[in-house]
Each structure stands twice: as C-alpha cells, then as structure tokens.
C-alpha cells in the first residue's frame, strides 16, 4: 500500500465520483480507477460499489476512511514541519475572500506576508460567500473569509470580526443626519448588490425582520461600480465599514450610521474539517485576520471622527 493510493482513496471517498476525484487530483480517470483496483486487490476487500450516479463506499470502505484519514493528516503535517524546519516557510497558499475584504485590506496583508515569507506562493481570489465556501468544500481553496452563512455548513467556521454596515451617499444626495433609521432607507434611491451577493442577503434579512420594503432601484455586484454611481448621482448604498474606511479621506462621500436596528455582519474564516490547513496557510490567515480586525477598528474610529457613526 502506497501513500499515493491512500490519497486517491480518500479523494474518491469524499467526491463519490471518479470524474470529480480525477479532476481534483489532476490525473486521468483510468489511472485513478487502476490504483483503486490495485488497492482493493491488495486488501482483498471491495471498497466502493459502482452505481449509475458514481460510487458509494462499502462498509469496508467507510472503515478504511475512518482509519486512514487521521494517519494521512499526521503524515502531511509531519512532512510540512520537516520541510519548514529551517524556519523559512515554503509551499502554496490558496485563500479566497469576499469582495469587501479584497478591496479593503487584502493588499496590505499580502505585501506584509510576502516580504516575510518570499518562498511561499500565494493564490488569492475573491467571490461570493456561497461560491467560496463551495470551493473550500471541494478543496479548490484551503480557506476562505466569507460572510457568516445563514445555513449550517459541513465546514469549520471561526468568527473573525463583527462590524456594522453603513449608509454611503455622495455630494449630490440631499443632506442626511449622522444617524439614519433603517426604516428611512425605503424612501431613498438605493443601489445594492444582487441576491447572489452575501451583503444583499444580510440586508434583506434585516428588512424582512423589520417589515421594511427595501427594493433597490439598481442592482450591481461590483462594489467599485456602486461607489462610482453613488459619487456621480443621488443614489445611496449600504456597505461594511471596512470597505469604505478609505473613502472617509475623500470629501466626495458622506457616511451615515444605521440605527433602529444597527445593521451588522460577521466575517468568518471557513476551512475544511478533513483538510487541515498547512503551516504556510495558517501563517497567512493570521496576518490577514490581524489586518481585518485592525481595519474594522480603524474604520469605526474614522467614522466616529467624522461625526457620522
């Protein structure tokens, strides 16, 4: 029995499809099927039942998964520790973030980490919370920073920070007080992300709970495009404090706190329970998490200093 065969077995067990498992392992399907057949022959036991929809593990297959999953995890961690025993991190980091984080703090965290660990490759992407969680579940990503999901996930989630959403207007918008009741938003021309976007789901949850009709005049997923629209018109929008903290340095925007109720979101770090993050990934997440928390604190102070929060 080879480590490679165990890795192939675990992947096929999790994917329940030769096609998906081969794609995830970056090998051709016949090679995967051949290695699984060799493993079954060596053990003298059938590990999978072939069905029209894919494969299903047998009782022996489920037992093997329980026995070998922690062993392979220990092997992977031991290998990483040996490779990084010199104190210089190596490897590849694959992390996704929601757009408000990639726009607000990602570059600073990336520059700090790269300077300290130049031999670590970074593959960073942004997207919707649901898509990022799916990528972690499918092991295309090692971890992701997302809005806290409404439904329970078969993934590990750790709360990083809790922050408010604020109302953003441009100079063309009629003056508003520093604090705006949530119910008043129904009378404004709102530009919000589409329902694919995690922020929109958070906003709609509050609207339903408060029985407020918050139908936006315009729906755009690009935060940058929304901000440009707000800057050049009388539209208003709702965004997290982290995403707008740099805007407060520019007189072209006004920021207003939302009250009754306060709009709040939680950012979480999502990881796979059966795919422990590497030493390099853990180190990058630590840097990114610190930048997110510092940005959230800085945004709160900056908004308070403007008299609008």
The contacts found for 220-224 with CB under 8 angstroms, 24 or more apart, are 220/191, 220/192, 220/193, 220/194, 221/193, 221/194, 221/196, 221/197, 222/99, 223/99, 223/100, 223/103, 223/193, 224/103
Q: In the predicted model, is pLDDT for residue 294 greater than 60? A: yes
157-166 tens-digit pLDDT: 999 999 999 9
Three-state SS sequence of 45-72: CCCEEEECCEEEECHHHHHHHHHHHHHH
CB contact at 8 A, 234 and 173? yes
Q: For residue 287, name the pLDDT band (cuts at 50, 70, 90).
A: very high
- Span 235-250, mean pLDDT? 82
* Percent residues over pLDDT 70 in the chain: 90
pLDDT at 301: 59
User: Of 217, 271, 300, which Cα lies nearest the Cα of 95?
Assistant: 271
Rounded Cα–Cα distance for residues 287 and 172 (Å): 39
111-170 tens-digit pLDDT: 999 999 999 999 999 999 988 998 888 778 999 999 988 776 678 899 999 999 999 999
Rounded Cα–Cα distance for residues 120 and 91 (Å): 5
CB contact at 8 A, 188 and 176? no
Q: In the predicted model, is pLDDT for residue 261 greater than 90? A: yes
171-216 tens-digit pLDDT: 999 999 999 999 999 999 999 999 888 889 899 999 999 999 989 9
Q: Is the dihedral of CA 288, 286, 202, 165 positive or negative?
A: negative
Three-state SS sequence of 145-162: EEECCCCCCCCEEEEEEE
List CB contacts of 107: < 8 A, sequence separation 6 or more: none
40-97 tens-digit pLDDT: 999 999 999 988 888 899 999 989 888 887 777 667 666 666 655 556 788 889 999 9
The torsion angles phi and psi of 272, rounded to 5 degrees, stand at: -90, 130
- Phi-psi sector, 16: left (phi>0), alpha (psi -120 to 50), beta: left
The torsion angles phi and psi of 103, rounded to 5 degrees, stand at: -80, -30
Q: Which domains does the chain have, with CATH numbers?
A: 3-83 (1.10.10.10), 91-160+266-300 (3.40.190.10), 161-264 (3.40.190.290)
**Mean pLDDT across the chain:** 87
């Amino acid at each position: 029995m080879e480590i490679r065969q165990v890795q192939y077995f675990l992947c096929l067990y999790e994917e329940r499809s030769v096609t998906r498992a081969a794609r995830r392992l970056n090998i051709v399907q016949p090679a995967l099927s051949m290695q699984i057949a060799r493993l079954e022959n060596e053990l003298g036991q059938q590990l999978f039942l072939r069905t029209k929809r894919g494969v299903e593990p047998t009782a022996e297959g489920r037992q093997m998964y329980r026995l070998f999953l922690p062993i392979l995890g220990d092997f992977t961690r031991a290998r990483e520790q040996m490779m990084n025993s010199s104190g210089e991190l190596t490897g590849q980091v694959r992390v996704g973030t929601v757009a408000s984080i990639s726009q607000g703090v990602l570059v600073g965290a990336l520059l700090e980490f790269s300077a300290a660990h130049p031999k670590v490759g970074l593959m960073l992407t942004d997207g919707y919370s649901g898509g990022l969680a799916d990528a972690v579940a499918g092991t295309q990503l090692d971890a992701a920073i997302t809005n806290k999901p409404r439904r329970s996930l078969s993934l590990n989630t750790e709360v990083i920070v809790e922050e408010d959403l604020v109302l953003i207007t441009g100079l063309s918008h009629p003056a508003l007080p520093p604090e705006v009741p949530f119910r008043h938003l129904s009378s404004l021309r709102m530009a919000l992300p589409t329902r694919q976007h995690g922020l929109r789901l958070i906003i709609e949850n509050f609207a339903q709970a408060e029985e407020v009709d918050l139908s936006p005049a315009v729906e755009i997923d690009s935060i940058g495009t929304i901000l440009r629209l707000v800057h050049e018109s009388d539209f208003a929008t709702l965004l997290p404090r982290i995403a707008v903290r740099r805007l407060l340095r520019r007189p072209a925007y006004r920021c207003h706190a939302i009250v009754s109720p306060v709009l709040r979101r939680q950012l979480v770090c999502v990881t796979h329970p059966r795919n422990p993050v590497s030493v390099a990934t853990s180190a990058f997440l630590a840097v990114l998490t610190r930048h997110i928390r510092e940005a959230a604190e800085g945004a709160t102070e900056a908004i308070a200093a403007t008299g609008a929060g």
